[in-house]
A and B are shown apart, each in its own frame.
Chain A
């Protein structure tokens, strides 16, 4: 089945620890994105990547890092520098940059 797989679905971490969220796609889409959802704030763009080995900061990139070593994979690391990491994180892909987005099921990160 073609799709976007995010893991883990739920993650609990202690304050000060880095965590990495996985996003894998088999849609053969070039562009991949990470969004964050907070109540009452909609979806905000963290990072996006148009092509392998290239990525750009979104609107709220501080405290996050990404890599794009393979077309299929775009992992997001939430570092200890991120002040409010507890949120619902969504990975998305599109055939080309600025195209229609397809979303994964999301990962809920809770920092204790």
Chain B
């Protein structure tokens, strides 16, 4: 039972480069999320997908795009990376997005933008 799988685990980019962070869950969850974690800031929601075919902005969406490819996969794209996007990125999912459901997290992607 893999849960939520994120790739890659580590990535170094130069300013202006693009890349896509991949996330897949095997729990048949409807809702998926992308968070970033910065020291002393806790987790902040970038984008979420309440269900397949829908995506919405979270608290800090600027500089990112997302794709809900199918029910399993939710990718996060940085079109032109900036040093301010250096962070640890977490993908999460839960069954329907309801308040009474816990989030299942992946193990994170550590991204450095030089």
Partners in one complex: no
Which residues of A are in contact with B by a Cβ distance under 8 Å?
Answer: none
Which residues of B are in contact with A by a Cβ distance under 8 Å?
Answer: none
